[in-house]
Amino acid sequence: MGNLLALVQNETLKVWKKKRFAVIVLILLILIPVFVYAQMKIAQTNEEQFKGDWRANLQDRISDNTRALSSDRIPEEWKQWRRALVQQLQYYLDHDVNPQTPNAVTFTKQFIDNAVNLFIPLMVLAIASDLVSSERSTGTIKMLLTRPVRRWRILLSKLLTLSLYVSLIIVTTIALCYLISGVIFGYSGWDAPVFVGFQVNGAEVDTANVHAVTQGVYLLMQAGLVWFAAMVVAIIGLMVSVLVRSTAASFVTMMATIIAGTILSAMASSWTNAKYIFNVNLELSSYLRGTPPPIEGMTLGFSLAVLGIWGIGALFVSFFVFTRQDILN
Amino acid sequence: MKSSIWLWRVLGLTTLACLIALAVGFGWALKDTWFPEDGLAIPETEDGAAATGGAWADKPELFVASLGDSLTYGVGDPTGRGYVKRVTDRLGDVLNKPVTLVNNLAVNGAQMKHLIEKFNETGFKYAIAKADLILFTIGGNDLFQLAQDGGSIIEGGDLSPELLKDRLPEVTPRLEQVFAKLRELNAGARIVYVGLYNPFYDLAEMRSGSGIVAEWNAKAYELAQADGNATVVPTYDLFETNVTKYLSQDHFHPNAEGYDRIAERIMQALN
């Protein structure tokens, strides 16, 4: 056990000293202000148009989406999405709750929702894709494997390090989002109510289980779900990193897969078997939010199962290959 | 080496704390989804909007709500402003105070039965209650449907003014309901009903439809007069000469110029 801890320490420091995490923080520091600025502009336009009357603003969104429903040019899947949205917004209006109180917590919540598909996987892969293949490309893998340490322990220590960094990345993203957007929107909003538990069945939204939680709790749950999805991406990235020699190749492979996933979820509603692919299931927080899933019939349990199976499969392949493969030049 | 150990201690503990927090969040999300509890109580609030009323001159700001069908939404107007935006803008200029459109609640293709249903929605009640001025159009789709002798136009169905004349009494009571409901939701607002016109005036066989439209508008005016603070703005005469100049490509909705003239009429009625 002490042995393993020492290995994790070694791996953690190695990743830290490569300044991978510093790069991620830098990217966040540049990107978040850009989005904060954009959001501020939107808020200003709304303020001008609705004079701070959120009920009128909400009703306008409902009316807009209702009108779109009557158009024949809009595909049926989009209509379903809008129908669900209208019913949800109506629920908020009926209970006199503002779904978009302008504050840092709301901004963070929205940022994370939008980041889960591409941005968070990108940051996670910046570390995961490098973990094994960089040892190969620099040749240090020979040093590592000639030590009197079992190979599976080395890979396990890398996996544990990866989980630590994935957690750190997500918490850092949330913290930076909150801190930066708070300058503009104010640091309140932790106890604002959010409705969860909308169940989307085709075109109907079942509100039987809907209940309110505070925005703080919502953010915690959302972060937990995003973390699970990010872990699966990281583990699959680790597998590719074991299989592919170069860091660049492994990173590009994974990013291509992730991007394909977002495209698939946007258009796969007619190809229902796509729901068994991991990259269509990454947006776990949409179940919390209650937006219709990309393919009908997907639920939180289903997506967790699909992601879990892919993760376990990737782990199996990683350990199997890593403990057996010959290291050639 | 010493700094390495400290770095590891800080890094290790921080990341471990993050991991635990996220795992807790994950567990919480599963629990909340599969075994939901009652959750937060949302305080009951009284209705947000107070019905206004009173003289416009005394108010620092005026609110407008508009509802009805595609005419109120502004279909056919390439600028997207319709008569509603034109009226709110001009009213602001004339009265020299901010005039805000609370909501344009119009739904394309709406008939009176749809509108009556909508009156039960929170957002409708709110916007209507808040308004000092309510602009609306309704009934055009009702009449259009009544005039169809089964089958749609595309399928070769035809519009028949005679049929419309016979069936008109079926729908007039609904207009009464609309006026009553509006007044129930807002006791003090000025209500403006934009009257119907016959978009097919230039077709000889459809010209007799104008008589029925006039009958409809008369009914609306009767209701407005009974209300006391409502009025009907006539538009039928605007679309008789040079129809194509004021109607859009679909030969049904006004174009920008058409809406401009309707807005002008409403302004005249208001001031």
> Positive or negative, the Cα torsion across B177, A64, B84, B217?
negative
pLDDT reported for residue A222: 95
Nearest to B123 among A12, A58, A197 (CB): A58
pLDDT score for B199:
87
Residues pairing with B254 in the sheet = B247
Q: Is residue A219 within 8 Å of A109, Cβ to Cβ?
A: yes
Whether residue B78 is contained in a domain is answered as: yes
- Asked whether residue B22 falls in the same domain as residue B112, the answer is no
Residues A237, A125 contacting (CB under 8 angstroms): yes
The reply to whether B227 and B148 lie within a common domain is: yes
Shortest Cα distance, chain B CAs vs residue A142, angstroms: 24
Say if CB B100 and CB B88 are below 8 A apart.
Answer: yes
CATH code (residue B234): 3.40.50.1110
Domain count, chain B: 2
Binning pLDDT at 50, 70 and 90, where does residue B48 land?
low
Partners of residue A196 in chain B, C-beta under 8 Å: 32-33, 36, 39
Question: In degrees to the nearest 10, what's the CA dihedral of A93, A97, A100, A104?
Answer: 180
Same domain, B71 and B141: yes
Nearest to A57 by CA among A102, A98, A107, A108: A98
For residue B27, which residues of chain A lie inside 8 Å, CB to CB? 224
Contact A92, A98 (CB under 8 A): yes
Residue labelled with tokens 């109180």: A101
CB contact under 8 A, B122 and A90: yes
Minimum CA–CA partner of A171 in chain B: B18
Q: Is there a single domain that holds both residue B12 and residue B118?
A: no
3-class state of residue B59 by DSSP: coil
Note whether B19 contacts A164, CB cutoff 8 Å: yes
pLDDT for res B46: 54
Residue B47 lies in a domain: no
- Distance from B98 to chain A by nearest Cα, in Å? 11
The better pLDDT of the pair A90, B208 is held by A90
Q: Does B54 reside within a domain?
A: no
Strands B99-104 and A211-214: unpaired
Task: List chain B residues with CB under 8 Å of A62.
Answer: 123
3-state secondary structure of B235: coil
CA distance A93 to chain B (A): 7
Confidence of residue B132 (pLDDT cuts 50, 70, 90): very high
Whether the Cβ atoms of residue A82 and residue A38 lie closer than 8 Å to each other: no
Residues across chain B: 271
**CA distances (Å), origin A233, targets A123, A136, A241, B44:** 11, 21, 12, 43
Task: Tell me how many residue pairs between chain A and chain B have CB atoms under 8 A apart.
Answer: 143
Q: Do B2 and A155 meet the contact criterion of CB atoms below 8 Å apart?
A: no
Note the pLDDT of residue A30. Answer: 95
Residues spanned by the domain of B263 = 61-270
Q: Tell me if B48 is assigned to some domain.
A: no
Identify the sign of the CA torsion B198, B200, B203, B209.
negative
Residue B205 banded pLDDT, cuts 50, 70, 90: confident
Cα–Cα dist A62/B118, whole Å: 12
Q: List, in sequence order, every beta strand (DSSP E) within B84-189.
A: 99-104, 133-137
Q: Which two tokens stand for residue B213?
A: 């439209």
Same domain, B131 and B183: yes
Residue B24 lies inside a defined structural domain of this protein? yes
Q: How far apart are CA A204 and CA A277, in angstroms?
A: 26
Report how far apart, in Å, the C-alpha atoms of A141 and of each of A3, A135, A153, B51 are: 18, 5, 14, 76
Per domain, the residue ranges of chain A are 2-52+101-323
pLDDT of residue B233: 94
Does residue B23 share a domain with residue B157?
Answer: no
Express each pLDDT in B161-192 by its tens digit: 777 888 888 888 999 999 999 999 998 899 99
Contacts of B193 (CB under 8 A, 6+ apart): B136, B137, B138, B179, B220, B224, B230, B231, B232, B233
Whether B5 and B123 share a structural domain = no
